[in-house]
Structure 1
Amino acid sequence: MTLLKIAHVGHPVLRNRAREVEREELLAPETQRFIDDLVETMRDANGAGLAATQVHMPLRIFAVEVKDNPRYPYKPNIPLTIVVNPVIEPLTDERFDNYEGCLSVPNLRGVVSRFAEVRVTGLDREGKPFERVARGLTAGTFQHETDHLDGKLFLDRVTDPKTLCTWAEFDRFHKQAFVERIVPFVKRMGG
């Protein structure tokens, strides 16, 4: 497997909508190798998710996985999930404020409003129909990665620019209050 280069904010690849992936293309050995590389790159960077556009590939594919992630100790675990051609459907009007970060926006976090419950549909890596209802922070992760495939960064959704901070300043000034607020929300939502 190969570690892929992660595009950073300012690179045009992050601002274009990725194209749909046909089933035959998805099943091709080179696409399957790419998915393996995407997963390896995400894990190497301690990301909770990684979209194909973030590694310079304009395909509607993303990976998510949270397994006791040191960057997000309050985030529920998510088994490795590959979604191709994702569609997000909000299942509630309830929203929550999440301090988000991104591998493509190094060392910066900010508050983003996300739907608390969504249905995610698309294909899995074998080209079979995929459907999952995601709640809480897990729902936010799926929305974040789908945004990437639409050419959007979390920066575009920050509700108040005054919430932008480095990781060190988040840890120092905002993490405790965020964790005190988000942990009960995660328990209530089950994700």
Structure 2
Amino acid sequence: MTVRPLVHIGDPVLRAPASPVDAEEIASADLQTLITDLIDTMRAAGGAGIAAPQIGVSRQVAIAEVDDHTRARYPYKPPIPLTVLINPVLTVLDEGTETINEGCLSVPGLRGELPRATAVRVQWLDQDGVAHDETRRGVTAGTFQHECDHLAGIVFLDRVADTRTLTTWENYDRYHRAAFEERIAAYVARVGA
């Protein structure tokens, strides 16, 4: 198990578009190690996803996973099986958006509200080089958008429309969590994952 240090906001690697991975490179020991390290780092930090730039590697590789351990921190997130996204392409499928309260491992201790598309198409290669083409909806669509943003040099703060919604984790827990989780549970029930 290798947990790598997280890169925090202000590091230029978070603002640079990540380089694509050549299909022939996917089976290489270096790329497979990067994938394993991303998984280990995400799980150790309690995240629902992580992208390679967040550990200082400017490559188009991201991970998403919501399991029972993750849901202790994010009880409103539907399960996402471990998903390795290499060179993901995300397409918004409709005009619908929902305001999500997000945080980020690279912006420790801070959360804010931002709009996320309610339905997206995601195309990617997995850790074995197998192509995937799937539609993601609801909060799960938001998770995929968040990780794909990292690969384009975007952090969630860039999408926060009203900076007055920014809050520390402590104040999110104290003043905002209950209302957000109630609202987002209704959203999940309405649109699915």
Give the TM-score range, shorter chain.
over 0.9
Of the three residues 170, 180, 183, the one matched with 1:181 is 183
Structure 2 equivalent of residue 16 of structure 1: 16
Of the three residues 77, 80, 84, the one matched with 1:78 is 80
Q: Determine the C-alpha separation between the residues in 2 that align with 1:136 and 1:89.
A: 14
Q: Determine the C-alpha separation between the residues in 1 that align with 2:155 and 2:30.
A: 27
Q: Determine the C-alpha separation between the residues in 1 that align with 2:113 and 2:147.
A: 16
Q: Determine the C-alpha separation between the residues in 2 that align with 1:128 and 1:22.
A: 13
Instruction: Give TM-score scaled by structure 2 length.
Output: 0.97
| 2:125 equivalent to 1:123 | yes
Which residue identity lines up with residue 14 of structure 2 in the other structure? Answer: L
Structure 1 equivalent of residue 157 of structure 2: 155
Structure 2 equivalent of residue 64 of structure 1: 64
Which residue identity lines up with residue 55 of structure 2 in the other structure? Answer: V
Q: Counterparts of 1:2-13 in structure 2 under 5 Å?
A: 2-13=2-13
CA RMSD after TM alignment: 0.8
Structure 1: stretches of 5+ with no match in the other structure: none
Which residue identity lines up with residue 143 of structure 2 in the other structure? Answer: T
Structure 2 equivalent of residue 26 of structure 1: 26
Which residue identity lines up with residue 180 of structure 2 in the other structure? Answer: F
1:25: how far off? Answer: 1.2
Which residue identity lines up with residue 108 of structure 2 in the other structure? Answer: P
Q: Determine the C-alpha separation between the residues in 1 that align with 2:32 and 2:53.
A: 16
Q: Determine the C-alpha separation between the residues in 2 that align with 1:161 and 1:184.
A: 25
Q: Determine the C-alpha separation between the residues in 1 that align with 2:43 and 2:190.
A: 28
Q: Determine the C-alpha separation between the residues in 1 that align with 2:56 and 2:132.
A: 24
Which residue identity lines up with residue 153 of structure 2 in the other structure? Answer: G
Describe the superposition over 1:154-189 as per-residue Cα deviations: whole angstroms up to 9, x where unpaired: 000001000000011011111111111110111122
Structure 1 equivalent of residue 171 of structure 2: 169
In the alignment of these two chains, the number of paired residues is 191
Describe the superposition over 1:36-61 as per-residue Cα deviations: whole angstroms up to 9, x where unpaired: 11101100000000000000111000
Contact 1:83–1:130 (8 Å) recurs in 2: no
1:125: how far off? Answer: 1.0
Q: Determine the C-alpha separation between the residues in 2 that align with 1:64 and 1:186.
A: 18
Structure 1 equivalent of residue 142 of structure 2: 140
Structure 2 residue matching 1:27: 3-state secondary structure: coil
1:19: how far off? Answer: 0.5
Which residue identity lines up with residue 172 of structure 1 in the other structure? Answer: R
Structure 1 equivalent of residue 39 of structure 2: 39
1:131: how far off? Answer: 1.4
1:16: how far off? Answer: 0.3
Structure 2: stretches of 5+ with no match in the other structure: none
Q: Determine the C-alpha separation between the residues in 2 that align with 1:112 and 1:42.
A: 22
1:2: how far off? Answer: 1.1
Structure 1 equivalent of residue 48 of structure 2: 48
